[in-house]
Amino acid sequence: MGTDEAIAARIRVITEAGDGLSGPDLLGFALDHAVTETGGLGGMVHLRGPGARPLLLTAVHGLIRTVARDWAEVEPAGVSAPARAMAQGAPVWAPSVAEGGGAGPALPAGSGLLAVPLITPDGVTGALSVLVVPAERPAPERWAAVEALSAWAARRLWEAPPDQDQDQDQDQDQDRDQDQDRDRSLGLGHTGTSLADDQVCRALWHMSDAFFAVDGDWRITFVNGEAERLLGAARKTLGRTLWDAFARLRVDEAEPDLRDRYRRAAESGTPVGFEVRWPTNRRWYAMRLVPVPNGLTVYAADITASRAREAERAAAEHTAAERTARIGELTDALAQALTMCDVVNAIADRVLPPFGASGVVVQLIEGDVIRIAGAVGYPQTFLESIDGYSIHEVSPVSEVYRTGAPAFIESVEEYTARYPRMEGRPAAARKQAWAFLPLIVSGRNIGCSVIAFAEPRRLDAEERALLTALSGLMGQAIERARLYDMEHNRAKELQRGLLPRALPSLASVATAARYLPASEGIDVGGDWYDVIPLSGARVALVIGDVMGHGLSEAATMGQLRTAVNTLAELEFPPAELLTRLNDVVSDLGDNLYATCLYAVYDPVAATCVFSSAGHPPPAVVRPGHPVRFAWSCPDPPLGAARPPFETTEVSLEEGSLLVLYTDGLVESADRDIDRGLCQLASALSSAARAPGPEHARRAGDRAEDASLERLCDAVLAELLPEKQLTADDAALLIARTHTLAPGDIAAWPLSEGPIAAGEARDHVRDQLIHWELAPLTPTAELLVSELVANAIRHGRGPIELRLLRGEGLICEVTDGSLTTPRIRHASETDEGGRGLQLVSALSHRWGTRYTPTGKCIWTEQPLP
């Protein structure tokens, strides 16, 4: 059998199979097989509209909505292939515009359109068109197949009885007689129409999309079956205006601008499309309004299902995008988290909300014990009860630790069934579902992260996979935080060991201090401070800063602090002490520099003498006076200085404040030192109203210490808010000075001969009786005798005795010699050399210091 015979035989089989079809089913059947026979991309059928209306798209196969919409109506006198085929009564082949043809509305580039007229005994009623790629004229046998199918479809369309398809519409409107309604809908406004017009109306009646038409006076002239769902039964709408139908259905109330859209479409003369939710059935329709010479035609495609699918897809995409964003936010938050607390809070903020979870707890394995590293959303009593459990007990954490796989438990019943010995835990934790996620780092299981839910919860496969993936991020961040916390704790221990653990309680000054590490790096640096008791009720106030930040600088700071304490014990004045400290820094390295301010406060003279090596000036606050800074001649920092250092003296009456600080408190990248000093002065201004000496004594030491602590906090809050990141350490030392009352000071000149010892004993005895310290008299007399004897034998005049009543009883003997006494180890036969041994044995402390005119030997006894 040849090719032509095979195609003819196939067409016979196709037509015999479609003999029972009519209306749109018939046209769709013929179109499908025409496309198949040509191997085309798709096709369409246009029928002549009633009267002089355009050609209407009645059936479509394989064309996307945007293409089909351009072909919804075709002008009969136009240049399109369907219009030309109907006008000529013969097939027309039209390549696309890109190929130089004129096929009418846009077609895909490189395609062509074969249009075959549908010819009935009453004339040409429409055209069947097939879209072919590439744009090559179809072979004769394929052309003939399309012609055969078109002829068969046209004949069947003409032969089908008008009421053949009535049984397909019984479910449209049960309150009316279908036959009578259809006769009206097909006949009204089309008196004298041909059988072809009736066939077109029948095809339009069965269209899957709603279709209705109005004339120039907005009277409804045609309504198909689907349009009755929108406007009502044909017998109620045909012949009436569209606005009457809108008013009856209250369309204007639900869509107030719909009427204006219809009018604008009719006035513009161009097709208009939009989507609207119809008020009667609350379904969505894609409406296309096509102006025609004598009215308007309306296509309404029900897109409710597609919109629902699009909404579901959009919701799913939104959920996925939100979850992806959450993962991105979690990744960023975990990357920025330093401590374990930061990591747990990041997990709680970024993981719990998208999954609807109510709690998270991180449990780490330490040896054979399960430890709580952090938690959010759990009762504290429950956390305390499970902390320290053995890893060898049967529990979900031990199971996850052993297997390395996550465990998901959807309800309390499932939890109790799997772990009966722990049936009380869900109630204690107030949780009803869990995701136990292993924390695996570099192939090592370090613990478990538990995401918990307040209600029973079944996680789907996608959620489980996502949580499992997130557990990897959590594990890495938790391990980093664990190591950081360990290093951080070691650094804090080191810093605590290098700084004073507690400031001494002294009668001459009340002190408070703060150390604030830099926000960048580990919490350890080179800033330091100290308060060192000296002889004569004096006190040394020290603050320093080793350039740089880190463990090396902290170690250097510890060396310098130790050196300062040693030099202070030798009673060096500030300038000389810094000179010797400069030598220490120079010996530590060529590139090492440090600043230091060393101040000595004397409560007897109510003065403070200080020297500075490249350090910011101290702030002085006298009661009732504004804050001022005790500027001195600036010297270079230690390691770069060339001694001698300048010495500055300031007067500090009772209740004054001396404020020492490092540059990290007042200077930063966005704040110069002048501005910082102004802020410091502002923060200290309230201290100008400090209580007087009598009030301070009545308030007691605790109240005074508390006020200084609050002042430290206020200064830090003003200059270094909590949220402000700092690149340098900051230290602050505030001292409130107290002078020694005149009644607590007694001084006498002594003779330069042997009688001086007796004079000294008499003065001591009388003064101690006056101070009501008689029990100290025997020891004090013996000590002063030895000191005066030493001054007479080894020193030179003038000799002076001074007693000070402070925290202890201080006895000082000064002379004009610079010779430093030292303890000798006398043998049994030596007559002398035991005086200083006796002094050392009887006094609480003793020592020697240099004065502007010589030296001073002093002893201190504790008061009873």
Inter-helix orientation angle 23-38/3-17, to 10° = 160
Final residue of a structural domain among 141, 159, 177? 159
pLDDT one-digit tens code per residue, 126-138: 999 999 988 888 9
Cβ neighbour number for residue 164 with a 10 Å cutoff = 14
Q: Residue 245: inside a domain, yes or no? A: no
In this structure, of 44-53, 91-100, 266-275, 369-378, the range with the lowest mean pLDDT score is 91-100
pLDDT of 382: 93
Residue 657, H or E segment: strand 657-661
**Cβ atoms 334, 343 nearer than 8 A:** yes
Return the residue matching tokens 């096509």: 290
Q: Residue 274: inside a domain, yes or no? A: no
pLDDT one-digit tens code per residue, 741-778: 999 999 999 988 888 889 999 999 999 999 999 999 99
Nearest Cα neighbor of 809 from 850, 760, 848, 767 is 767
pLDDT at 841 over 80: yes
Q: How far is CA 282 from CA 91, 189, 277, 278, 299, in A?
A: 44, 31, 6, 5, 17
pLDDT of 831: 46
Helices (H), 101-188: 140-159, 178-187
Same domain, 808 and 733: no
Q: Is the peptide bond before 95 cis (omega within 30 degrees of 0)?
A: no
Q: Residue 726: inside a domain, yes or no? A: yes
Nearest Cα neighbor of 212 from 201, 202, 224, 200 is 224
Same domain, 474 and 357: yes
pLDDT of 318: 83
pLDDT at 6 over 80: no
Return the residue matching tokens 């402000």: 724
Same domain, 52 and 137: yes
pLDDT at 828 over 90: no
Predicted TM-score (pTM) of the model is 0.56
**CATH number, position 385:** 3.30.450.40
Nearest Cα neighbor of 603 from 509, 531, 510 is 509
Same domain, 786 and 671: no
The more confidently predicted of residues 201 and 657 is 657
Distance of CA 129 to the CA centre of its chain: 60
| Percent above pLDDT 90 for the chain | 36
Q: Residue 192: inside a domain, yes or no? A: no
Same domain, 132 and 36: yes
Helices (H), 685-730: 693-699, 701-719
Range of the domain at 341: 316-490
Nearest Cα neighbor of 677 from 713, 709, 715 is 715
Q: Residue 279: inside a domain, yes or no? A: no
What is the arithmetic mean of pLDDT over 381-393? 91
pLDDT of 812: 92
pLDDT of 181: 39
- Paired with 545 in beta bridges are 527, 595
**Residue 67 banded pLDDT, cuts 50, 70, 90:** confident
**Residue 168 banded pLDDT, cuts 50, 70, 90:** very low
CA distance 303 to 284: 6
**Cβ atoms 124, 89 nearer than 8 A:** yes
pLDDT of 199: 53
Q: Residue 403: inside a domain, yes or no? A: yes
Same domain, 757 and 722: no
Same domain, 632 and 729: yes
Query: What is the total count of domains within the chain?
Result: 4
In this structure, of 38-47, 169-178, 556-565, 587-596, the range with the lowest mean pLDDT score is 169-178
Same domain, 397 and 459: yes
Q: Residue 258: inside a domain, yes or no? A: no
Nearest Cα neighbor of 603 from 505, 537, 660, 504 is 537
The full length of the chain comes to 864
Q: What is the Rg, in whole angstroms, of the alpha carbon atoms belonging to the chain?
A: 51
pLDDT one-digit tens code per residue, 440-496: 998 889 999 999 999 999 998 888 988 998 888 888 899 988 888 888 777 777 777
Same domain, 9 and 126: yes
pLDDT at 728 over 90: no
CA distance 719 to 779: 52
Same domain, 9 and 127: yes
- Strand 220-223 versus strand 272-277 pairing type: unpaired
**CATH number, position 725:** 3.60.40.10
pLDDT of 171: 40
**Cβ atoms 561, 764 nearer than 8 A:** no
pLDDT of 66: 66
- Paired with 444 in beta bridges are 441
**Cβ atoms 851, 819 nearer than 8 A:** no
- What does the block give as tokens for 40? 């085309």
pLDDT at 120 over 50: yes
What is the arithmetic mean of pLDDT over 18-39? 84
pLDDT of 526: 82
Same domain, 718 and 809: no
CA distance 417 to 437: 20
**Residue 306 banded pLDDT, cuts 50, 70, 90:** confident
Residue 568, H or E segment: helix 551-569
pLDDT of 170: 40
Q: Compute the mean pLDDT over every residue in the chain, rounded to the nearest whole number.
A: 83
pLDDT of 696: 47
pLDDT at 544 over 70: yes
Final residue of a structural domain among 456, 490, 524? 490
Nearest Cα neighbor of 43 from 140, 145, 121, 155 is 145
Final residue of a structural domain among 457, 490, 523? 490
Residues 6+ apart with CB under 8 A from 150: 30, 34, 116, 117, 118, 128
Q: Residue 696: inside a domain, yes or no? A: yes
The more confidently predicted of residues 371 and 204 is 371
pLDDT at 200 over 80: no
Same domain, 818 and 844: yes
pLDDT at 242 over 80: yes
